[in-house]
Structure 1
Amino acid sequence: MTEVTHDQLLGERLQLTQLPRGHRVGTDAVLLAAMTADINATDIVDVGAATGAIGLMLGLKNTKAHLVFIEQDKQLAELCLKNVSQNGFSERAEVINADIFDKNSLKALGIKAGIADLVVTNPPFVEEGEVRLSPDIAKQKAHALPKGGLDLWIKAAAYLLRAKGTMALIQRADKLLECLEAFPKDFGAFRIRMIHPREGEAAVRVVIRAIKGRKSPTIIEAPLYLHGSDGKFTLEAEVMHRGDWSAQ
């Protein structure tokens, strides 16, 4: 039997079974969900879902939304399905074990263009050749894309959105321009928020939201500082991790 851990998110409101090594859910997933929770979505797709944390967190907020989780790793997809079940989402969610780059396979599984009004994604943070990859195969798959893969990933995720739908992603801060260049030309109304470990330090992550078929001006939001001088979460970061998103 595969070894797993049993964890909780959002003040123990979300139960998460995951692998002890490889891809494990952390702050990035919580931040993306928290910064997307204000969107009243009816059809949510979590691209590269892994064990499903981001989509499930949004499912708690959007209680009537239909959820689709797309994950190419079979083992992670099986854990995602388990998490869907143990959190009571089985009647309004489906898990698709497929490669986001393979449109034909996705279509065969019923995943077509324009199925979502909200797509969320946490793409792998590096591409082949950028860094020395971990010898752990699971970590490689979770954190590395083929050369040019970030551009392809964003375009593949955008393909799933209907007009006026929103895509939201979290990525390394130094990949901001690369991400913006990857969005198809019909996207606009960008909202960009930089995430810093603490005040006075360079940003390490960025959350980008954009709407398909809208050309409103870009908004650069106030930065998020994760930790104070005492090393603890700032109040805003703590609220996000509790899942008390109405208090933001």
Structure 2
Amino acid sequence: MKTTFELNENERIDDLLAGGLKIIQHKNEFCFSLDAVLLAHFATVRKNSYGLDLGTGTGVIPLLLSPRVRKMEALEINPVTAEIAVRNMQLNNLADKIRVQQGDLCRIEQYYKAGSMDFVVSNPPYRQINQGQLNLLDGVARARHEITAKLDDVVRAASYVLKYRGRFAMVHLPERLGEIMVAFHKYKIAAKRLRLVQPKRDKSPNIVLIEGVKDGAPGGLKVEPVLVVHEDNGDYTKPLLAYYYPDRLAEMEGR
């Protein structure tokens, strides 16, 4: 893996609109979306905690969580995006705080100790291989479909590294919520928070955010208010403006 910052062909630098953070992305690889931003804001991350991002891609979630953590690990199977994630940490002067590991979460035991993490986050592939058409770009296909890791693998890996009462937060599809609950129960993660996300008020939810506690007591699931992304005119709602443009929201509310 390269350890020096450089911008290669087909790469660009985007502004994360969060504390001056920037991110390198490759046009032929999977680029982060709203889902990752929602997860970063949803996850319960206590100050000075130590955590892991499973399937980090180019490292967007650790970047967004960096002000709130003591240290963080990031695991990514795709060597191309893992190398970009390394440079993203260097670009933002976070290489000492966030360590990127290229590797397979299905072999989690090779990289991290059991019970070593305060929290785990993951924006995993959403769709089973037989659902929808696979993208022709290999990296994008692996990020969207369960080619290298299934839902069960992700939850198992999270459970393995979590401390007692550590937290696991994940973003996924509402249609797979039943499978998620089964996997949580199988690996002794008690679901404690759930939030559905709608693109507009008159649209059905297309994203689910869920968080559970390792070895937590059963019951006590809190279903939070639905998060609406866009107003009817296409503008971001206030919660989304707070994520992306807090200064603009402050100006609007100050009028």
Question: Scaled by the length of structure 1, what TM-score is found?
Answer: 0.90
- The one of 206, 213, 225 equivalent to 2:215 is 213
Letter in 2 for 1:53: V
Aligned length: 239
Distance 1:103 1:139, change over 3 A: same
Contact between 2:197 and 2:207, CA under 8 Å: does it hold in 1? yes
Of 234, 239, 243, the residue aligned with 2:242 is 239
Q: Which moved more, 1:12-21 or 1:164-173?
A: 12-21
- Partner of residue 227, structure 1: 230
Map 1:80-99 onto structure 2 (within 5 A): 80-99=85-104
Counterpart Cα distance in 2 of 1:90 and 1:148: 27
Runs of 4+ in 1 over 4 A off after TM superposition: none
Task: Note the residue ranges of structure 1 that are not aligned, 5 or more in a row.
Answer: none
Aligned 8 A contact 1:18 1:24 in 2: yes
| Correspondences of 1:3-14 after superposition (within 5 Å) | 3-11=10-18, 13-14=20-21
In structure 2, the residue matched to 1:180 is 181
Give the structure 2 partner of residue 163 of structure 1. 164
Match of 2:55 among 48, 58, 65: 48
Distance 1:104 1:210, change over 3 A: closer
Give the aligned partner of residue 102 of structure 1: 107
CA distance in 2, matches of 1:99, 1:36: 23
Amino acid at match of 1:169: M
Partner of 2:116: 115
Whole-Å Cα distance in 2 between the matches of residues 185 and 98 of structure 1? 22
CA 120–225 in structure 1, closer or farther in 2 if over 3 Å, else same: same
Percent of residue pairs bearing the same amino acid type = 26
Q: Which moved more, 1:134-143 or 1:10-19?
A: 10-19
Q: Distance in 2 between matches of 1:156 and 1:132?
A: 27
Question: Post-superposition shift, 1:41?
Answer: 5.1
Tell me, which stretches of 5 or more residues in structure 2 are unaligned?
Answer: 1-7, 251-255
Tell me which residue corresponds to 1:77: 82
- How far apart, CA to CA, are the structure 2 residues paired with 1:49 and 1:81? 11
| Matching residue of 1:136 | 137
Aligned equivalent of 1:149: 150
Does residue 28 in structure 1 map to residue 29 in structure 2? no
From 189, 193, 197, the counterpart of 1:191: 193
Contact kept, 8 Å, 2:10 with 2:28, in 1: the verdict is no
How high is the TM-score relative to the length of structure 2? 0.87
- How many Å separate the matches in 1 of 2:109 and 2:207? 32
Q: Select between 17-26 and 203-212 the one with higher mean Cα deviation.
A: 17-26
Q: Which moved more, 1:123-132 or 1:5-14?
A: 5-14
Alpha-carbon distance in 2 for matches of 1:13, 1:177: 38
Within 2, Cα distance between the matches of 1:41 and 1:204? 32
Which amino acid in the other structure matches residue 212 of structure 1? K
Q: CA RMSD in A?
A: 2.0
Deviations 1:191-242 (A, max 9, x none): 0000000112100000001111221511100000001111110001111223
